[in-house]
Each structure stands twice: as structure tokens, then as C-alpha cells.
Amino acid sequence: MLVKEELVKVDPATKRYSLGAGMLPLARDVIRNSGFQSAVQPALNQLSQRYSVVSIGVEVSGLDHIVVVAISKAQLPLRLHVDIGSRFPALISATGRCVAAYTDQPWKEIERRFRQLRWYRTPNFTTWRKEVEAVSRKGYSVDKGNYIQGVTVLAVPVLDATSRMTRSIVSIGLTQQIDSATMAELGEDMRLAAESTAANVGLSMYGS
């Protein structure tokens, strides 16, 4: 039955089972019904409309990966392959700088994983580390064309009650449309949205 519904698949050579394509719609339903997705969606819509950017909410899984759980798409003259359920390496782009800033993993491990990432233009590790260390001071991080040519990505951490980064709000736009003033304004609005979302998720999780 599970195989027929494509929830699992069988390797004919090894006879081993693995998750099948039929699991994807189920996973997306779970994501859409999560407290974080419901709490962050209005903020993403506002950011997307105000700044003409693609705004997404992601769940963070340590240094392994991030998963897109909410999205608000603006009309951009480029195609971004981002949808609910999309997964990316945790340390990539602007989100990765936030993840590195809030992890308790040693820098040796962070650097090892950094060296394995694939960028359009790989940043110098020393420079990247300084940008990571600036996240807590600025409240957000920026990737200007390192990950995707001509694209600027901003990210802010969404922290839990123990100041652990479990989620992030991310905005993606064309570099030519995001000047320094717009970047600072967008970053501040994202930071406020992250604080508001964290408070709302806390209320929905603990019922207080």
C-alpha cells in the first residue's frame, strides 16, 4: 500500500526502502499548518509588497540545512527556484552568516563546512567570518551577489526563549534595486518582523 501510494520506494537491487515522492505533499501540508508558518506569513507579505522582494521563512536544522516553510513572492525579472519544502545548506548565503553567528559549534567545524559550499562567487573566509561576527551587532546579514549573481539576500535570525536560532526570515531581491539606504531600512523591518514573529510563535506554542 505504501509503495502503491508512492510514500516509499523500493530499490530493486538492494530491496531497501526509502521515502518516495508521495511524501512531499504530506510534508508540505505539515509545514503549512505549523505555528511558525502561520505567524510569519503576514510579515512576509508586507515585506514582499513594500520592497518588491521575495520573502521567505525558514526552519534551521543546525549546520546541516535550512528548509523553506513559508514564502511570499514578488514579481521579479528573474526566476528563483524556491518553494515550500526547498532545502539549502545551512551556511550558504545571508542565512548562513546568521546560522554561523548563533551556533555553538567550533570555528574549525564551521570552516570545514564553509569550504564545501558552492557559490557563484565564493567569499574570502576571513571576510565572511567578520560578516558573521557583525550579525549580532547589526541584527541582520547580507549576501551581495556571492550566492547568486546580481542578487542580494538579507536574513535575520528568529530566536527562541534561550536565544537559540531555530528559524530565519529571508528577503531576496535584485542588487540594482537594493541600495544602501533600502538595505538598512529592509534589514530593520525584517529584524522587527523576526521579534514579532518569535513572540507570536511563543504565545501559540505555550498558550501564555
Instruction: Assess whether 200 and 134 both reside in one domain.
Output: yes
Question: Is 40 in the same domain as 7?
Answer: no
Rounded CA-CA distance 40/200 in Å is 9
> What secondary structure does DSSP assign to 34-60, as a single string?
SHHHHHHHHHHHHHHHHHT-EEEEEEE
Residues 21 and 97 in one domain: no
> 25 and 40, same structural domain?
no
| Same domain, residue pair 68 and 17 | no
pLDDT of residue 14: 59
**105 and 199, same domain (yes or no):** yes
Give the C-alpha separation, 147 to 137, whole Å. Answer: 23
Q: Which residues of 4-31 are buried (b: 16+ CB within 10 A; e: fewer)?
A: eeeeebeeeeeeeeeeeeebeeeeeeeb
- Whether residues 46 and 61 share a domain: the answer is yes
Residues 87 and 1 in one domain: no
Residue 117 and residue 95 in contact, taking contact as beta carbons nearer than 8 Å: no
Residues 78 and 113 in one domain: yes
The pTM score is 0.81
Residue 34 is predicted with a pLDDT of 58
**What is the extent of the structural domain holding 119?**
35-206
* Residue 53 and residue 27 in one domain: no
How do the pLDDT tens digits run along the chain, 208 residues long?
Answer: 544 545 445 656 555 554 454 444 434 444 444 589 999 999 999 999 999 999 999 999 999 999 999 999 877 666 677 889 999 999 999 999 999 999 999 999 999 999 999 999 999 999 999 999 999 999 999 999 999 999 999 999 999 888 899 999 999 999 999 999 999 999 999 999 999 999 887 644 433 3
Predicted local distance difference test score (pLDDT) of residue 23: 42
Report how many domains make up the chain.
2
pLDDT of residue 32: 45
Domain holding 154: CATH number? 3.30.450.40
* Same domain flag for 126 and 190: yes
Residues 13 and 42 in one domain: no
Rounded to a whole number, what is the distance in angstroms from the first to the last CA of the chain? 42
Selection from 31, 83, 81, 79 nearest residue 59 by Cα: 31
